Amino acid sequence: MYPITTHGQHFHVTDNGAAGPAILFLHGNLMDSTMWDGVVEELAEYRCLRLDFRLHGGTEDDGLPYTYWDAARDTLSVLDALEISEAHLVGHSQGGFTALRAALLAPHRITSTTLIDTSAAAFPGPALEQMARIRDGFAAGEVTATASAVLDLLLGVDASATPQWLNRIRRQPAERLARAVGVLMGADSIEERLSEITAPALVVHGSADLPISPEAGARMAAMLPAAEPLVLLDDVAHTPPVTHPAQISALLRSFLGR
């Protein structure tokens, strides 16, 4: 665990130091790199890398808004700093937005992408309205109530991990949380460019995902030239790496092994 400074930001990075192929895990909005704990512990033969995005977790940044194209360049710069020429990218939600853009910016460096409960499209109006309410709730300082409602969407109602994540979110400054949601709202559509991404891809989606519909995942899988058939997880909400880590690690082991 160490900081890596690039683009004027100090990224919190975790590296298990294994000698196998590199996997860089990219977390979802309002989460942080610890969301992958239960997944990476089952993949010890791989060099498992994780970073906290700007406005998230232990990364020290300028606090300003950014785009997922910026996040993709951050991701590639972290690989540069670690002297890693190519890596598998595993992204959840906004992490998937980032992985896709990294694959467009530097296709020769991306061995494969695993895209979990994510999309290549911009958010529709109703979703943006919901996110605006979440952003404004954080901005108003209503962190506990807002985060509780968000976690019901992310993890599912009554998920056992909710108290842990509520505490993690509450440790973040309210304005930082609001700006992170604002970044999510600004995701642009890259569907028209998916045909350019020729790296092998695994698309995984929870059937009970509310923030990003399973149909969005199916559409993306159909548009990626080298994607395997969509893997739909029955009765799973938006964040299976947290709620169903054993299933995610098993899927990764099978996919990466091929």
Query: Mean pLDDT of residues grouped by 10 in the chain (258 residues)?
Result: 92 96 98 98 97 98 97 98 97 98 98 98 97 98 98 94 98 98 98 98 98 98 98 98 98 95
Q: CA 211, CA 116: separation in Å to the nearest integer?
A: 12
Q: CA 50, CA 36: separation in Å to the nearest integer?
A: 8
Q: Which two tokens stand for residue 7?
A: 């683009």
Instruction: Indicate the number of domains in the chain.
Output: 1
- Taking only the tens place, the pLDDT of each residue in 19-38 is 999 999 999 999 999 999 99
CB 92 within 8 A of CB 117: yes
Query: In what helix (H) or strand (E) does residue 177 lie, and over which residues does it extend?
Result: helix 174-185
Average pLDDT, the chain: 97
CATH assignment at residue 250 = 3.40.50.1820
**Range of the structural domain that residue 30 is part of:** 2-121+189-257
- Alpha-helical (H) ranges within 54-186 are 68-81, 94-105, 125-139, 143-155, 162-170, 174-185
In a domain, 218, yes or no: yes
**Smallest Cα–Cα separation from 215: which of 224, 201, 223, 205?**
205
Read off φ and ψ for residue 122, nearest 5 degrees: -70, 155
Q: CA 107, CA 53: separation in Å to the nearest integer?
A: 21
* pLDDT number for residue 2: 82
Per-residue b or e along 179-218, where b marks 16 or more CB atoms closer than 10 Å to that residue's CB: bbbbbbbebeebeeebeebebbbbbbbbeebebbbbebbe
In a domain, 145, yes or no: no
